[in-house]
Amino acid sequence: MGASNPQFIKVGKNDDQRRIAVIRTSGNQPSLLWLSGFKSDMTGSKAEALAEYGAANGQEVIRFDYSGHGQSSGVFEETCVSDWLEEAEAVFDRFCAEKTILVGSSMGGWIALLLALSRKQTNRIKGLVLIAPAVDFTEELMWKQRFTDEIRASILEKGRWAQPSVYDENPYVITRKLIEDGRNHLLFGSPIHIGAPVAILQGALDPDVPASHAQRLVEALPQDDVTFSLVPDGDHRLSRAQDIELLLRTVAEMSGT
């Protein structure tokens, strides 16, 4: 199915039910499950490159849009990490019947880790490829580091704050719901054990997810086989031709192809 004609699955119950857009390109195992970043969707350059890679190599690729993103239903300001994780779990449960590599970008890296932990007992996760993984970003990168007292007060009192973005002409609205819900999913503070290889790709010049944040994740995975690739001149997106080449090479190595 093309990006303009996805299939839809229903996630959630009653008034909380969302229509989630999914694109599945059939092929061999292991499957590649793409997890997008915050305010990104499955038609981004890295997601498209992964889909093209899968088509060229006969490997199954599954992509979807979180609620409030892309072609899925929902209003962004009303959604949060719990929703996006539930949707990732639903897509995994329905479409990933065998070994799967989770490929997560930025916030998608956090979602990938949470998904790997929640579905660890399935033994279907072959590994994770994480691009500038924004683990615990609502708390560690937003609330603690970037938000001033005035911004925090606005979120607490008004329930929202419009954050200017270099990636979009419209600001990103950060809600109190997003911040408070994020605290239910924090990973830092105790060791994380995925039970599968983890490859981290990180730009040294990333202004949004510092290399030190990704290094912290490496240290939080003491029992897992972790590789850390630092791109000296790489930014947050890591979407240049050479960056995408690194991504696809890493996916190929983990796939064993």
- Domain 7-136+191-255, what fold? Rossmann fold (3.40.50)
Q: Render pLDDT for 196-215 as a digit per residue (tens, 0 to 9).
A: 999 999 999 999 999 999 99
The model's pLDDT over 135-162, given as tens digits with 9 standing for 90+, comes to: 999 999 999 999 999 999 999 999 999 9
Question: What is the phi/psi pair of residue 180, to 5°?
Answer: -70, -40
Q: Which helix (H) or strand (E) holds 254?
A: helix 241-255
**45-57 vs 241-255: helix axis angle to the nearest 10?**
50
Kindly report, residue by residue over 45-80, the tens digit of the pLDDT: 999 999 999 999 999 999 999 999 999 999 999 999
The helix/strand count (H/E) of the chain reads as 8, 10
CA-CA-CA-CA torsion sign (120, 128, 135, 44)? negative
